[in-house]
Chain A
Amino acid sequence: MGTAVRSHPLEAADFVANDSRMHWHDKALWFVRAKRDKAAASVPEWEQLREAASQIKLHTLSRLPEYLEEFERNATRLGAVVHWARDAEDHNRIVLEILKKHGIRRIVKSKSMLTEECHLNPHLEKNGIEVVDTDLGERIVQFRNEPPSHIVLPAIHIKKEEVGELFHDRLGTEKGASDPTYLTEAARGHLRDKFMNAEAGMTGVNFAVAETGGVVVCTNEGNADLGVSLPRIHIACMGIEKLVPRTQDLAVFTRLLARSATGQPITTYTSHFHGPIPGGELHIVLVDNGRSQFRESEEYRSSLKCIRCGACLNTCPIFRRSGGHSYHAVIPGPIGSVLAPLREPKKYYSLPYACSLCGSCSDVCPVKIPLHQMLLTWRGDLAAQKALPWTKRAMMKCGSLVLRNTWMYTLAGKLARTFMPWMPRWTLYNPLNAWGKHREVPSFPPHSFRELYRKRQQKNHGR
C-alpha cells in the first residue's frame, strides 16, 4: 500500500499505442454520452432535478448518523439484519460469517462497486466459496481475471471478437462466432444454471431509504433480482453514503440515474426490497471504509454525493482515450481521480493530472459534484503534501519561478528565440520532454508579443 503504481501517462501510453482501438473506445463512449444528452434534454426540469439531488445528498450527509440509525431501526422492524463494517476487512469478514453459518458454497453476485472496493471475491474464493458475477459485462471480465474498466459498462474495453474467443474457451460457443445476440444467449444459458444452483445472492445498493428501511437496486439485465429471489438468503452491501431520507427522494434519483448513465428513461428493473423474501433472510451491510473521513474534508466531501452513474467517465476526453484500466483504481475516470488520492495520495498522485480541466464532467454530473474543480484543488494539495515525485516538483518550482519574475520570463523568451532554431533537435525532442512526444513546437517568431507591442506604441505616438 502507498507505493506508487506506474503513472497514468505511462499506463495510458500502452492503450494509446493501439490507435484504432483507442478511437474505437473513444467512439463507443461518445455514443453513450450522446444518448445521455438526448435523454437529459427531454426532461424540461433537468437542472431543477440536479439541484434537488445535490441538496438531498448534502442534507443527508449533514445528518448522516441520525439517518443511519433511523434506517437501521426501520430495516430491523421489517425483519432485515443490519451489520456495520468499519473497513473492507470488516465487510469481508461479516459476509463470510453469514455464508459460513449457513454452510454456503456457491453464491451469485450482481454488480457492486463496493465489493470491488473491498476485494471481496478473492477473500471468499480463498475460503472455498464459488462467487459468480452475473452481470454480463462483469462475467466477461471475471472470466478474463480482470477488474471492470468502467463502473457501468465493465467490459467496454473488450471487442466482441475477444468475447467470442473467451466464450468459445469457457462456454463452448462456436469458434469465430462474435454476434452479440448469440454470445449473450450463451451467457444466459450458462448463468441460468448458476442462478438455479446458488445458495445465496449478493447485490449492491443504489439507494437506501431511511424512513422506510428498504434498499433499492437498479439493473437492466434482471440478474440482481434473479440472484436474490431463488435462494433464501440475500446479502446487500452498501456504502453509508447511499442513504436518502424519504421515499419521495427516490423520484429525483430514478429520474436522473439511468438517463445520465445510458440515456434510458429508467433502468428496466428498479427493485425495492423491504424485509427478506418470505421464509428467508435479508442482510444489509453498512460499510464505512473511509467514507466518514472523506465526509470531514471540506474540499472533497461532496464527492460522497456520487450515485455512480458513469456519466463523467463517458464524457471525459482523457478517459475515452486512455481506458479505465490506465487509472489502476477501483473507480476510474474523473470521480475515481478525486476518490483515489483520498485513500492513497502517493500511489495515485498522477490521477488529478489525467484531466484537461475542460469541465465537461462537472456539467454532466447529475448530483452536481464540481469534479474538475476538485481535481485542480488536488494538484495543489498533493504538492503541499509532497506526494508528487521530485521530477514533477522540480519542474513546477522552475516554472513558477520563471512565471513570477518578469525579467526571467523576458530573458527565457529571448534566449529561446535566439538559440532554439539553431539547436540540435534532441535538445527539445528527448525522453525528458513528454510534451515533445507527439507534438511539434511551432517555429519561433523573431519577436515577442511585448516587443511587437512596444514598437507599435512607439509608431502610434510618433505620428
Chain B
Amino acid sequence: MADNSRQAILDQLRRTTLEPVALPDLRGPWTTSDDPRRQFAEVLAAVGGRAITVGSLAEVNAELEKIPAYQNARQICSRVAGIARANVDLDAAGDPHDLEKVDFFIAPGEFGVAENAAVWVTDESIKHRVLYFLTQHLALVVPARELVSNMHEAYQRVKLGQRQFGLFLSGPSKTADIEQSLVIGAHGARSLTAFLVES
C-alpha cells in the first residue's frame, strides 16, 4: 500500500520533465557586521533577551546571582563547568519528564549570529534536549569570539547530516496570538540570557 503511493507519486512527478533551473550560487558577498558583539546584544535585547559580556567563565556565577529568577530558582541544572549552585544532575534523569521542575538551565552555546541573535545549540552534550524548552529560564554561555555575521556564515559552520538535534535559539519563548500583544514566556523559557565570554 505504502509502496504503491511512493511509486505513484514518483511516477506522476516523472511524467512531466521541467526545464532545468540552475541552483543559485550563495557565496555572496553578503552584508557582514562591523561589530558583531554589539549587534548581537542589540538584536537580542530587541527580541526580549539579554546579552552580558564577561571577562572569563568565573564571572558568570556573579552575574547569575544578580538575576532575580536565578536567586529564586530552586532547581538549577548546568552543562557549563563551575556553576556553583547547580543541583540537578542531568545524567541521573532517566526520563525527560523528570526535568519538569527545573527553574534555571545553563547551557553552552557553540556560536552566535549577529544579524538575529540566534545561538546554535545541540543535544550533543545534553542528554535530554527537552531542557532547552522545559526550563523556566535559560542562560547560554558563548565564547565572545565565536560570533558570525549572518546565517550564510552560520550554516557554513554547522555540520548537518549526523544524527543530532540542533537548534538556532534567538531570545525567550514568545507569542502575540492574542490581539498581537507580545507576551514573553509562551511555552518555553521565560527569559534568555546570553553570556559572551571574552577569554
Contacts and interface: CB of A to CB of B under 8 A. Distances in A.
A202 interface: no
Interface string A117-161: 000000000000000001111001000000000000111100110
Given A51-B24, A90-B5, A180 B181 contact: yes
Contacts of A58: 21
Interface stretch (A225-233, A332-340, A435-443): A225-233
Interface stretch (B58-66, B69-77, B81-89, B114-122): B114-122
Interface residues of A, number: 96
Contacts of A185: 185
A183 B5 CA distance: 44
A262 B176 contact: yes
A277 B5 contact: no
Nearest to B99: A230
Interface string B1-34: 0100110111011111011111110100011000
A429 interface: no
Contacts of B118: 266, 270
Interface string A206-240: 00010111100000111101100110000000001
Contact of B187 (A159, A192, A209, A286): A192
Contacts of A229: 96, 128-130, 133-134
A61 interface: yes
Q: Is the interface on chain B under 10, 10 to 19, 20 to 34, or 35 or more residues?
A: 35 or more
A243 to B, nearest CB: 12
A370 interface: no
Contact of A251 (B12, B23, B154, B167): B154
Contact of B10 (A65, A90, A246): A65
Nearest to B131: A229
A423 B99 CA distance: 79
A272 B167 CA distance: 6
Given A58-B21, A265-B170, A296-B16, A135 B177 contact: yes
Nearest to A256: B151
A448 interface: no
A230 B163 contact: no
B2 A226 contact: no
Contacts of A277: 129, 165
B12 A264 contact: no
B93 interface: no
Given A59-B22, A180-B181, A268-B47, A64 B13 contact: yes
Given A55-B22, A268-B188, A274 B47 contact: no
Contact of B160 (A64, A184, A214): A214
A226 B116 CA distance: 22
Given A74-B161, A84-B5, A230-B96, A265 B116 contact: yes
9 contacts: A28-B180, A59-B20, A59-B24, A137-B177, A163-B178, A211-B161, A266-B168, A272-B166, A286-B9
